[in-house]
Amino acid sequence: MANLESLKVNPPTNRLRGDLPKVGIRPTIDGRYGGVRESLEDVTMGMARSVAELISQARHSSGHPIECVIADTCIGGVAEAAECEAKFQREGVGISLTVTPAWCYGSETMDMDPARPKAIWGFNGTDRPGAVYLAATLAGHNQKGLPCFGIYGRDVQDLGDQEIPGDVQAKILRFVRAGLAVATMRGKSYLSMGGTSMGIAGSIVDQDFLQDYLGLRTEVVDMTEFVGRMNKEMYDQEEYELALAWVRENCPEGADTNAPEKQRTREQKDQDWADSVKMALIARDLMVGNPRLAEMGYREQAQGHNAIVGGFQGQRQWTDHFPNGDFLEAILCSSFDWNGVRQPYMVATENDALNGVSMLLGHLLTGTAQMFSDVRTYWSPAAVKRVTGYQSAATDHGFLHLINSGPSALDWTGEQRVSNSSGTKPPMGLRARDEDAPHGLKAWWEITAEEAGACLDATKWCASDLGYFPAGGWSTDFTTRGGIPCTMFRINLVKGLGPVLQIAEGQTISLPDEVHDKLDQRTNPTWPTTWFVPRLTGQGAFKDVYTVMAHWGANHGAISYGHLGADLITLASMLRIPVDMHNVPTDGLFRPSAWHRFGSGMDDTGADFRACKNYGPLYG
């Protein structure tokens, strides 16, 4: 059993350089004094405060509450717009939301920052034409090439009603989640630890894509940096001893499936554990730095690379000579380690930067640990029956085998308890381990020590397959619980087209043990398995499960808890990345209003491609 005393829940920490981005609220108003403006001041500022209160209940992926900055005055013209912008610059505002109950002077009051995600909520009321301002100003944004989201409630409200309707709340929060993801990435780094792995295209790190579309710089370190730091003991040696002892207590070994005559000795395996722990410490220090190194005399190395995401090459130039990176990747991507429950890191196996940044998008939207996996096999009902004799209504359409030796975060055992099938926050009075709560994943700051311990207890660490990893190492072995809603997604690069995003919402399933074992043995039983069924529409790429597999754009996928396809589509539109494949209901699509002018009412996918091509990369 895991030692729960070692799994304290840590408070939120901003481990990267730079302040967290804030949400700017811009209350705009009819600038005509003499009765019009005066009658609207309190109502308009009241809208701003109500929106700020709503947003402030949400959190950054770091766990910190989201801060809102409201303009000092209502904005009635260009002078007050400039004063608001100056305040936003001082306060570190990353996205802006304009709110108004009335007509205002559109182009004189609008947010003109070209790189800042922006939206307008035009109050649906009859007393004053907030919707008219919304339409006029969105037209101005479109004419000036500054995409902006429009928010308009379905039902008419009375002027002065400070309640935010549910449909408006949903769009505001979706805009905020996606916009803050964009603002959080800007100026951070992707850390490439090594180079291209086994010719995998995703690990040919495209620095222009990362810079132009995501605002990320690329930092590169050769894997010999790990050798040098290990030889020089350039890591916190006290933490190393703590971590190694924690691993011995909380990471039970599983089967060694290598031929007996090829198995590594107990002494070699113990050294593999020691090296694996050192590698995890070094990778983390490379990403975000460690002040302890400065105390040891390594001032430059103590700074790290300010990496919000990274990748470890591993195969084959590393794994032919040193233990594999599976422990490094799995434990860093999990929401807990020897220091307790903390924000997961985003580390891509095989340095697949495209899958790594996809994981990053999912984490920024949810605060949960992400899973990196091979999209390995489509199992048809006929094939399952032939191999195992099993058939069930749950597998009538077949399923996908998601499996990978690397960073399948331990959260993906599914041993955490959530309130419902679509959320991560337990309602008031529901304890995290209540037996009637379904299994799933939580935002890291909601995870209890008991839940982290349950994830550890459900995981075995198997000796690496020496055919793949001749220098040893360890691989996680677990099976994800069934019934967990999740989203598989990935960014792909296509020459002449650029980046495109694909999304498949669905859920995990459980198989009878004997069926699971027969199927699992055909691949590698020492690796973590997730059985996944995408939600089908009967059309296009989602005609059936086989077609989903056939349309998938690479060998890897990022998997996030919950159905967040709509959030990903909103985020992709901000980054000007079109979506070529998704199964999100059309009423959940929320993109800048300009997308309508490209024909979204007739052809959603085509309009998305045309709009993204027209506006080009956000930072390009």
Q: Give residue-wise pLDDT tens across range 434-476.
A: 456 799 999 999 999 999 999 999 999 999 999 999 999 999 9
Residue 489 has pLDDT above 50, yes or no: yes
Q: Is the pLDDT of residue 402 over 70?
A: yes
pTM for this one?
Answer: 0.96
Q: Where are the beta strands (DSSP E) in 184-323?
A: 189-193, 217-221, 307-312
State the pLDDT confidence band at 330, using cuts at 50, 70 and 90: very high
Query: Which CATH number does the domain 189-589 belong to among 3.30.565.10, 3.40.50.280, 3.20.14.10, 3.60.15.10?
Result: 3.20.14.10
Domain edges within the chain:
22-185, 189-589, 590-620
Asked whether the predicted pLDDT for residue 91 surpasses 50, the reply is yes
Look up residue 397 and give its amino acid: H
316 is written with which tokens?
């084959």
Alpha-carbon separation of residue 216 from 189, 306, 307 (angstroms): 5, 10, 9
Q: What string of DSSP letters covers 74-122?
A: -B-SHHHHHHHHHHHHHHTEEEEEEEESS---HHHHS---TTS-EEEEE
Query: Residue 43, class by beta-carbon neighbours within 10 Å (0-12 exposed, 13-18 middle, 19+ buried)?
Result: buried
Residue range 409-422: average pLDDT?
A: 84
Using the predicted structure, report yes or no on whether residue 429 has a pLDDT greater than 90: no
Cβ(548)–Cβ(470) below 8 Å: no
Distance of CA 527 to the CA centre of its chain: 23
Token pair 């079109």: residue: 578
Residue-averaged pLDDT of the chain: 94
**145, 162 contact by CB (below 8 A):** no
Query: What is the mean pLDDT of the segment spanning 96-102?
Result: 96
Q: Are 464 and 324 in contact (CB under 8 A)?
A: yes
Amino acid at 230: M
Give the pLDDT confidence of 272-296 residue by residue, as tens digits: 999 999 999 999 999 999 999 999 9
CB atoms under 10 Å from CB of 72, counted, come to: 11
Distance CA 99, CA 118 (A): 11
What is the per-residue pLDDT for 162?
Answer: 85
* pLDDT greater than 80 at residue 420: no
Averaged pLDDT, 111-129: 90
pLDDT at 430 > cutoff 90? no
Residue 421: what pLDDT? 40
Q: What is the predicted pLDDT for the residue at 406?
A: 66
**pLDDT for 6-62, tens place per residue?**
999 999 999 999 999 999 999 999 999 999 999 999 999 999 999 999 999 999 999
Per-residue pLDDT reduced to its tens digit, 132-180: 999 999 999 999 999 999 999 998 888 888 899 999 999 999 999 999 9
Helix (H, G, I), strand (E, B) or coil at 379: strand
Helical (H) or strand (E) element with 347: strand 347-349
pLDDT(425) > 60? no
Residues of the chain above pLDDT 70, percent? 97
Catalytic residue numbers, as ranges: 350, 374
| Residue in 414, 417, 418 with CA at minimum distance from that of residue 459 | 414
Residues with Cβ within 8 Å of residue 393, at least 6 apart in sequence: none
Mean pLDDT of 214-238: 97
Q: Measuring CA to CA, how many Å separate 140 from each of 134, 294, 611?
A: 10, 52, 16
Distance CA 306, CA 566 (A): 29
Q: Could you name the CATH architecture of 22-185?
A: 3-Layer(aba) Sandwich (3.40)
Q: State the pLDDT at residue 395.
A: 86
Position 426 scores a pLDDT of 35
What is the sign, positive or negative, of the torsion defined by CA atoms of 270, 271, 276, 278?
positive
